Structures are given as C-alpha cells and as structure tokens.
Structure 1
Amino acid sequence: MGLRLSFGLLSVLPVRYARAGRAEFATAMRLAPLVGLAVGACQGALFAALDFAGTGPLLAAVLAVGLGAVLTRGLHWDGLADVADGLGSGRPAETALEIMKKSDIGPFGVLTLVFTALAQIAAATGTAHPALALAIGAVAGRTAIVRACAPGVPAARPDGLGSMVAGTVSRGPATLLTGVVLATSGLAALAWTGSPRDALPYALAPLAGLLAAGLFRRHLVRRFGGVTGDVLGALCELTVTTTLIVLTLGD
C-alpha cells in the first residue's frame, strides 16, 4: 500500500491505491527516494542514450531534465513556482498561502522555473558523469521530502498534502534513510568511476543539497507557518539543483 501510494503521489504512473490515512502516508513518504531512483534512472538512461547517439550533452540534458518533469506530472516544479509566488508576494502568511493555492503562475514563479531549469541543465552538462549525477540528484530531492516530514515541522494548513504528511516520519528513520542514501550514492559512484577520489563528490553533493533544503525549509516554516505540498516540491527541486551544481565544482 505504501509503495503504491508513494508512486501514485509522486510520479505519473497510474498506480491505484485505496483511501489512505496518516500511517499510509508516513510509509509513502519514507519510500519517496525509491520514486526518485526510478525517475532518476530514467533521466540518466535517456541522457546516456542521447549522448551516445550523438545529440551532444546540452540537448541530452534538456530532454533528460524535461523527462523528470514529465514523469512527475510537473508536481515538484509546480510547487517550486507556487512557493516563489508566495514568497515574492510579500504578503502575510495566510494571504501568501492563498496565492500559492491558485492555479495560475505569477512572474516570480515563471522566473524561478526558468532559472532553475537552466541551472539544472547547465550543471548536468558540467559534471563529469551527467547520467549518474541526474540519478543521484533525483534520489536526493525525494530524500529532502522525507526530512521535511519529521516531527517538529508543522503543516501550514489543516488540509492538503502537508497536513497528511507533516510529522509522520520519525527523526530516527529519516536520519537513517539519509545516511543510506549518501552511502549508496558514494558506492554507486565508486562502481561507476572506479576511483574513490572521483566517487567522493557524489556522496558529498547530496549532503550539500539536503543541508540547503534544511535551511530553506526553516525559512519557509517561519514564513508560512509550516509545510504544504508546494513546499515539499520546492524543497525537492532545490535539493536536485544544489546537488547538481556542487558536482560541477572542481570538474
């Protein structure tokens, strides 16, 4: 049930699931990195295939980043745009949350989407191993969602996804999962590159992304009073972007 719910919520896959309560949502959030792994693997595979076919890394990165948005129904990108509009409005929390609920996208949202997409594309082409970087970034992004569901992080509204997942993932499992993701990223990079020195950044970059997401989450909780589904999406894309950017350093 939890795995079906996780894929049903966080991906475009037409996975059916029964009516769920907080316990099922808690399991779904803990399994979110598996959804990231599936999405990231598809992105990495597409990049590798297109680059091998001779499209060049730039076009391959554009289509791979676009595939990530398609495979998630643009869910996290929509959240990123809504959070940008809410922050950019400068309004009190209640009004800002209402702005975020609207279906349209304002200028702050558009600019944020454009610059974030460009940053992800440029960073992916600037890494030594773009396919691997895209996969690790996708997993790290969903790990940020897990960490945002820890106790002490309230929901901003009494309804919506935020109210169903806020505080559902205990700190112990969230910390353990983070460690597993970082270690697995490093081991995957070691198997990919064959060099511990080359693999180390692929374990550290997701950590940098999660730290950035943690700082941003604190700001958003102070600004909006808690998390929403949009906030979770924004944290995901911030983590992906930061992870990819860090991986370009020194390459």
Structure 2
Amino acid sequence: MDGIRFAFGTLTVFPVRVTRWDREAARSGMLWAPLAGLVVGACAASVGGGFLLLGSGPLLAAVATAAVPAVLTRGLHLDGLADVADGLGSAKPAADALRIMKQSDIGPFGVLTLVFVLLGQVAALAELYAAGWARGAVAAVVAGVTARLALTLACRPGVPPARPDGLGAAVAGAVPLRAAVGVTVLAVAACAAAGSLLGPGPALHHAAAVAAGLTAAQLLLAHCVRRLGGVTGDVFGAVSETATTTALALAALG
C-alpha cells in the first residue's frame, strides 16, 4: 500500500497521504505508476463520453478528455514539459538550462511546445471520437497507462538525477530493470486486451501505440540525460506528455 500511496500521491491530485518517502516506497510507487495512469485515463474517457452523451460533437469531447489529466495532475506534467522545452531550447550549458527550468515563468519555447502538444492530443482524440465513442475512450485509457509506464522505465538504473534533491533524485534509478520490463510487458498486454474490445486489429494497433509512446519518451529521456546530466521532476513531466501525445497520435492513424 505504501507504493500505491506513493504513486497516487505524487502523480495525481487524489487525496492520498504519502506515508513514506524513501527509496523502497519510491521503487514500489513507480512500479504502480501505470495503475495511476489507468485511473486518470478512465476518468478522462468517462468525461469525454459524458459530453458525447449530452450531445456535444467530437471536438468538444476531445477538449474535455484532454483537460481531465491536466486537472488530475495539477498541470504538473504540462508544466514540466514547458520547463524542459525552455531549458533545452535555450541551448545553454546544463547548469544554466537547469536554472531556466527551475524558474516559475514560462518562456516562448515552453508556450509553443504546450500549444502544439495540446493541439495534437485534442486533434487525435477528436478523430477517434468521430469514429466512435469506444475508440476515443480506449485510446484515452491506453494513453494514460503509457504516460505513467514511461515514468516507470525512466526510473531504471543508469538514469541519474540532474540535481541532488527533488522528485528526480527521489526516484531516479529506483526501479530494477527486470521489474520495469515485467511491468511493461503486463501493461502492453493489458492495453492490447483493451484494444481487442474493438477487434483483433485494434488490439495490435493499441499495443503498437504503447510501443511508439514509450519509444518517443525514451528518446527524449536520453536527450535530457545527455544535455542536463540526468533527470528532474520536470523531465519526468515532459517524458509523460511525450508518451501521451505519441500514443494518441498513433492510435488515431490507420
């Protein structure tokens, strides 16, 4: 239960009290992160479906669906994405980039990145809802799981923290590689099973969406480690949003 509390207490706004903040709790919490993503994705799908039942079009339902994860995370992942965009976009040395990322304001790189990422998520969801409520709902759930699964993989050994404090330092390298791979296999299988509700083709399609989201997230993670010397809480947020957007985009294709 300490791990579940850690996952929901750090990755969502649900009223869960984190009772332990040590490496063991961090390891367990990040292994349970996809469960938090499942709940967030299910909430997003429910809200989108509710809008459709009330007579809205696919676009409004897509906006509502994309807004739910932002609300349920206090916008922390989007804020991290904007901060990372500003830091990397500055093209300055690691120390200066980290200082820029820690500032409370958002620069032009961050604003542009947020605009295009949110537009991409809404556009993908709108296309999916236009093809049927079930397609949009399943994609929202799969994207939520993929986003948090990317965090589990980002906490594997060999990924150092960029700072000695903060969430990055608390969870960096905390998840054993074998455990991370095991959770990944289970999560991909679960997402494929969710896709199978729409047919055998969608099962493979949604598994591919998870793989694409994780690949894009890991590419960003590797770039941040090279440029910044490690990960921070902002990097985790950027990794999560990258996985979400990529998974939704691939789910909308084909």
Same fold (TM over 0.5): yes
Match for 1:102: what amino acid?
Q
Secondary structure of the 2:230 match is: coil
Q: CA deviation at 1:19?
A: 4.2
Matched, 1:134 2:140: yes
User: Distance between the aligned counterparts of 1:19 and 1:180, measured in 2?
Assistant: 26
Q: CA deviation at 1:20?
A: 1.4
Match for 1:74: what amino acid?
G
User: Distance between the aligned counterparts of 1:241 and 1:87, measured in 2?
Assistant: 19
TM-score, length-scaled by structure 2: 0.95
Percent of aligned pairs sharing the same letter:
52
Q: CA deviation at 1:143?
A: 0.3
Could you tell me which of 231, 235, 240 is aligned with 2:239? 235
User: Distance between the aligned counterparts of 1:198 and 1:2, measured in 2?
Assistant: 32
Matched, 1:150 2:156: yes
Q: CA deviation at 1:9?
A: 0.5
User: Distance between the aligned counterparts of 1:215 and 1:107, measured in 2?
Assistant: 23
Aligned to 2:174: 168
Secondary structure of the 1:47 match is: helix
Q: CA deviation at 1:199?
A: 2.3
Aligned to 2:214: 210
Paired positions, count = 248
Match for 2:177: what amino acid?
R
Secondary structure of the 2:74 match is: coil
User: Distance between the aligned counterparts of 2:90 and 2:201, measured in 1?
Assistant: 45
Secondary structure of the 1:154 match is: coil
The answer to whether the 8 A contact 2:5-2:19 is kept is no
Match for 2:61: what amino acid?
A
Aligned to 2:37: 36
Aligned to 2:85: 84
User: Distance between the aligned counterparts of 1:200 and 1:86, measured in 2?
Assistant: 36
Secondary structure of the 1:151 match is: coil
User: Distance between the aligned counterparts of 2:144 and 2:211, measured in 1?
Assistant: 13
RMSD after superposition: 0.9
Give the gaps of 5 or more residues in structure 2.
none
Deviation digits for residues 39-80 of structure 1 (CA, Å, limit 9, x no counterpart): 000001111111122101100110111111001111110110
Could you tell me which of 180, 192, 195 is aligned with 1:186? 192
Q: CA deviation at 1:18?
A: 2.3
Match for 2:241: what amino acid?
E
Deviation digits for residues 127-151 of structure 1 (CA, Å, limit 9, x no counterpart): 2411110110010000000000000
Matched, 1:66 2:71: no
TM-score, length-scaled by structure 1: 0.97
Could you tell me which of 205, 223, 229 is aligned with 1:219? 223
Match for 1:45: what amino acid?
S
User: Distance between the aligned counterparts of 1:185 and 1:28, measured in 2?
Assistant: 20
User: Distance between the aligned counterparts of 1:108 and 1:136, measured in 2?
Assistant: 28
Q: CA deviation at 1:17?
A: 2.0
User: Distance between the aligned counterparts of 1:69 and 1:178, measured in 2?
Assistant: 24
Where in structure 2 are the equivalents of 1:106-145 lying within 5 Å? 106-127=107-128, 128=131, 129-145=135-151
Aligned to 1:25: 26
Give the gaps of 5 or more residues in structure 1.
none
Aligned to 2:102: 101
User: Distance between the aligned counterparts of 2:252 and 2:66, measured in 1?
Assistant: 16
